[in-house]
Structure 1
Amino acid sequence: MQTVQHSEQTLKTALTSKNPTLVSQYEKLDAGERRLLNKAFKPDNDLFGPITLHSESDWIISHPEAPQDFEEFFSDPSGKAPSPEKRSIYIQCIGSLGNTRIIRHILRFLKKKKPRDAFCIVGITMIDLYPRDSWNFVFGQASLTDGVGIFSFARYGSDFYSSHYEGKVKELQRVSSSDYSIFDNYYVPEVTSILLLHSCKTLTHEIGHIFGLRHCQWLACLMQGSYHLEEADWCPLNLCPICLCKLQCAVGFNIIDRYQALVRWIDDESANSPGLSRGHSWEDHVNLPKSVEAFKEWKEWIIRCLAVVQK
């Protein structure tokens, strides 16, 4: 096992940049926020560790990419940010979609159905997804330009490798762009704590791409690329300070408010209706059971971050 180690100066520059305007902007942040973010380049910190490499098949080795620091993110003309007119994130369950599993077909469909006030619309499905028929599966894919994405939680289900798995593509069907039946009878697996954790990682990672965040190569981070399920498991649910600054720049939020809201979400177990039928209509309002056992370690990490910010 190896780690990707950057010098303190490299990490500091990636976070604050050498641009005087951006340095001044960083220095105007709340003192507590800066205290937390500065942990990025403190070698003895216990909140933000280096990226660990486990094998030659890890994403950072097999898919070399140029790293994106904060200044590059800030200066990117293609970067996306919500506006007063387009500030909603829509999440759409997808059932059969003509039983296609090819990503470009689904993204094209979602683009047509994107509401006027949507910053982005993301589809979630239990169908295995492929960029092309001849390619390996992917967990998801997003289009920054179009503000659409599609993500599969198929391989997160405990029964995926069973011959009785209900999310498999059967025979192809053609549907018109006005046919909403594709939202019917979507497959809902047993909603476990681990499935919820994996799904949250995939969904927030891909939405991060829609905001313009590229794969992180600085520290252990939600925005690391992952080539297989085991590697996705190794990635944390939290953003590193550099990627957190990028998201803060795009969305605008107070870190204390954000972390407190995340703790409240973990603590809120009110959505716990255990009885679910196998088929649902897109018009149904379904309260899925919310099991947060797998989030306890992350909650403890957030509380430690809040202690630093509120010191």
Structure 2
Amino acid sequence: MGATSSNPAEQISTAEDQSSTSNVQYLLGDLQKLAPSARKLFNLGKECLTTSVARLPFGNEPELKFQEATNLADLQDPDFRLFRPLKLTQPLYSGQTYVKWRSVRDVQNVYAFCAPVKTIIYIQPIDEFPEFIQKFCLTTKRLELTLFSLLQSFCQIYFSGFDSHVLPEVNIKDKQWQITSRHHSVTEQKQYLVGDFFPYLQRLMPSNGLCILGLTWTDLYPQDDLNFVLGESSTVHKSAIFCFGRYEPKGFDKETHRDIKEVDGLLIFKLLRIISHETCHLLGFQHCTFFHCAMNESNSIEEAITQPLFLCPVCLRKLQKCCGFNVLERYKVMAGFLQELQEQLPCEQFQSAVNWLQMCLQYLEEG
């Protein structure tokens, strides 16, 4: 039989360690069968939570914005360079852990066992877009990308393992869709009610579709008593709808506000943020409460574009299970893609994302 400490303080410490380990195992699941690089990254997530969250009373973890989190070499603990836990306000198991998400997914897969495999993310342009959107073309080393094919390429990298296709544009009037609209009292601009799109989008999705993502030039709102939403999804309909966020009422000034007139880096980043966030919702992800993460909740465009483009270890674990990608290879391809965007459409957000990827790849490839 093993020896047992007679020191009460040591017994308490051991119990806390076991509780912390159990909590983190619940967050990320069994990592033994994963590739070494994936295990290394997910174990880093464990260490971050164990050392900086699980041992602290609720509310004592200092908050840190994502932009600050991309330059953390001066911190004493190098683990914080990549993943920064959120301020702890509830027990770790209260959020959507990997184990919680996996249990729901397994039940859904039982019902879908006899159905055809659905692996394609469809992007559906809705109504006409301005000429500068239609004529936009980004020339890379291999391809010439329109705005929609750029979004398609991003989806194929971010959700590596799934394919992505752009469907022909549809017109609301021609399709006779009954979409509620209004003119906002502050901006005086037209908005569509998001929920009205979901059934129509679902009907457009081909039989091999994993989900369908609608994109419209007209702004959106979620319900009568709310101002604006950049995008929203419906897991029931396997569909999402998002917009360019041209006239957000929050902070709107009629005298100084200007509509979008060109495709720049910030606009592309905003679209990549919303398309990745809403697609993850369609895969069953809830808002992340563990780390600064692409799946954090946001209440404005300004807040959304200051959040990371990348998933934390808990959410990445879910996505890796869905897609089956090699974590290291996915990051390498993503780094090349975003570096190309930063060179041609430079913005602070893309540079921050590239910096983060470089640190992440260095960590995964060293030693």
Is the counterpart of residue 295 in structure 1 residue 350 in structure 2?
yes
SS of the equivalent of 1:225 reads coil
Structure 2 CA distance for aligned equivalents of residues 200 and 70 of structure 1: 24
CA-to-partner distance for each residue in 1:29-75, whole Å, 9 max, x for gaps?
Answer: 2222222222223342111012369xxxxxx99xxx95100100110
Structure 1 CA distance for aligned equivalents of residues 87 and 265 of structure 2: 25
- For these two proteins, the number of residue pairs brought into alignment is 252
Q: Give the counterpart letter for 2:350 in structure 1.
A: F
Q: Give the counterpart letter for 1:49 in structure 2.
A: R
Structure 2 CA distance for aligned equivalents of residues 34 and 163 of structure 1: 53
Tell me if structure 1 keeps the 8 A contact 2:123–2:213: yes
Tell me if structure 2 keeps the 8 A contact 1:266–1:292: no
* Cα separation, partners in 2 of 1:193 and 1:52, compared to 1, 3 Å: farther
1:140 to 231, 239, 242: 231
Structure 2 CA distance for aligned equivalents of residues 67 and 30 of structure 1: 26
Tell me if structure 1 keeps the 8 A contact 2:194–2:221: yes
User: Corresponding residue for 1:111?
Assistant: 202
* Cα separation, partners in 2 of 1:295 and 1:129, compared to 1, 3 Å: same
* Cα separation, partners in 2 of 1:217 and 1:237, compared to 1, 3 Å: same
SS of the equivalent of 1:298 reads helix
> Superposition pairs for residues 128-167 of structure 1, below 5 Å?
128-155=219-246
User: Corresponding residue for 2:163?
Assistant: none
User: Corresponding residue for 1:171?
Assistant: none
User: Corresponding residue for 2:124?
Assistant: 92
Q: How far did 1:156 drift?
A: 7.8
Is the counterpart of residue 305 in structure 1 residue 305 in structure 2?
no
SS of the equivalent of 1:149 reads strand
* Cα separation, partners in 2 of 1:298 and 1:106, compared to 1, 3 Å: same
* Cα separation, partners in 2 of 1:8 and 1:118, compared to 1, 3 Å: farther
Q: How far did 1:163 drift?
A: 7.9
Q: How far did 1:165 drift?
A: 8.8
Output the aligned Cα RMSD: 3.6
Q: How far did 1:79 drift?
A: 5.5
Structure 1 residues not aligned, in runs of 5+ = 1-6, 54-59, 168-187, 273-289
Identity %: 31
Q: TM-score, length-normalised on structure 2?
A: 0.60
Tell me if structure 2 keeps the 8 A contact 1:16–1:70: no
Q: TM-score, length-normalised on structure 1?
A: 0.70
* Cα separation, partners in 2 of 1:236 and 1:116, compared to 1, 3 Å: same
Structure with more contact order per residue of length (Cα contacts < 8 Å, sep ≥ 6): 1
* Cα separation, partners in 2 of 1:31 and 1:139, compared to 1, 3 Å: same
**Structure holding more helix per residue:** 2
Q: How far did 1:161 drift?
A: 6.0
* Cα separation, partners in 2 of 1:209 and 1:162, compared to 1, 3 Å: same
Structure of higher CA gyration radius: 2
Structure 2 CA distance for aligned equivalents of residues 12 and 237 of structure 1: 28
Tell me if structure 2 keeps the 8 A contact 1:52–1:220: no
User: Corresponding residue for 1:178?
Assistant: none
Is the counterpart of residue 48 in structure 1 residue 53 in structure 2?
no
> Superposition pairs for residues 1-311 of structure 1, below 5 Å?
13=22, 16-17=25-26, 22-23=29-30, 26-40=31-45, 41-42=47-48, 43=51, 44=77, 45=79, 46-51=81-86, 66-77=94-105, 85-95=117-127, 97-98=172-173, 100=181, 101-155=192-246, 189-268=261-340, 291-293=345-347, 294-311=349-366
* Cα separation, partners in 2 of 1:240 and 1:256, compared to 1, 3 Å: same
Q: Which range moved further: 147-156 or 213-222?
A: 147-156
